[in-house]
């Protein structure tokens, strides 16, 4: 699994929308500013996330984006898989792709990739955006200095 800027920006935007869940829309401009994300790039990303059912939007004046599903139901892993593709280090780590590799029955590496895949999934598929919101709130209430915008 490798996280590109596109994935990073996606996660940041969704977290911002989760922090604003049930509180109306947030325009792209604001999300871009908050996340220090190039505006036109974020436009594309949000359109993709909309097609993926993660977010929804309202057009026109006072328009913007909002989370299409409750934060408890969205995991980091789901977003990463949607934006970045499969999280396994090689295709054969996924059981569905086993048969594609001619070396499958006797390859001593496949167990390694499977273990990496399992361990990675365990992390990213168990963290929801509701949990991330709680962590942000905890940071807000701590004495750690946070930028004004959180």
Partner DNA sequence: TATAATCTATACCAAGTTAATAGAGATTAT
Partner DNA sequence: ATAATCTCTATTAACTTGGTATAGATTATA
The answer to the question of residue 89 lying near DNA (CB under 7 A) is: no
Span near a copy of itself by CB under 8 A; candidates 22-30, 48-56, 66-74, 139-147 = 139-147
Q: Which CB sits closer to DNA, 90 or 127?
A: 90
The answer to the question of residue 40 lying near DNA (CB under 7 A) is: yes
Interaction partner, residue 62 (DNA, a copy of itself, none; CB < 5-8 Å by kind): DNA
* Whole-number Å distance between alpha carbons of 17 and 69: 10
* Whole-number Å distance between alpha carbons of 52 and 48: 6
DSSP 55: E
Q: Which CB sits closer to DNA, 27 or 89?
A: 27
Site for DNA in 97-126 (CB under 7 A): none
- Residue 88, beta-bridge partner list: none
Interaction partner, residue 64 (DNA, a copy of itself, none; CB < 5-8 Å by kind): DNA
Find out whether 26 and 13 touch, Cβ atoms under 8 Å. Answer: no
Burial profile 35-53: b = 16 or more Cβ within 10 angstroms, e = fewer = bebeeeebeebbeebeeee
Q: Which residues bind DNA (CB under 7 A)?
A: 2, 4-6, 25-29, 38-41, 43-44, 46-47, 50, 57-65, 84
């Amino acid at each position: 699994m490798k996280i590109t800027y596109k994935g990073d920006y996606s996660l940041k935007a969704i977290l911002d929308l989760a922090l604003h869940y049930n509180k109306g829309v947030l325009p792209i401009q604001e999300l871009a500013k908050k996340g220090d994300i190039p505006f036109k790039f974020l436009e594309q990303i949000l359109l993709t996330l909309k097609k993926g059912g993660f977010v929804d939007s309202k057009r026109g004046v006072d328009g913007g984006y909002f989370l299409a599903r409750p934060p408890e139901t969205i995991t980091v892993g789901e977003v990463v898989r949607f934006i970045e593709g499969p999280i396994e280090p090689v295709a054969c780590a996924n059981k569905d792709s086993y048969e594609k590799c001619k070396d499958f029955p006797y390859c001593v590496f496949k167990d390694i990739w499977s273990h990496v895949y399992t361990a990675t999934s365990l992390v990213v598929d168990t963290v929801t955006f509701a949990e991330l919101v709680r962590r942000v709130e905890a940071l807000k209430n701590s004495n750690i200095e946070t930028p004004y915008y959180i």
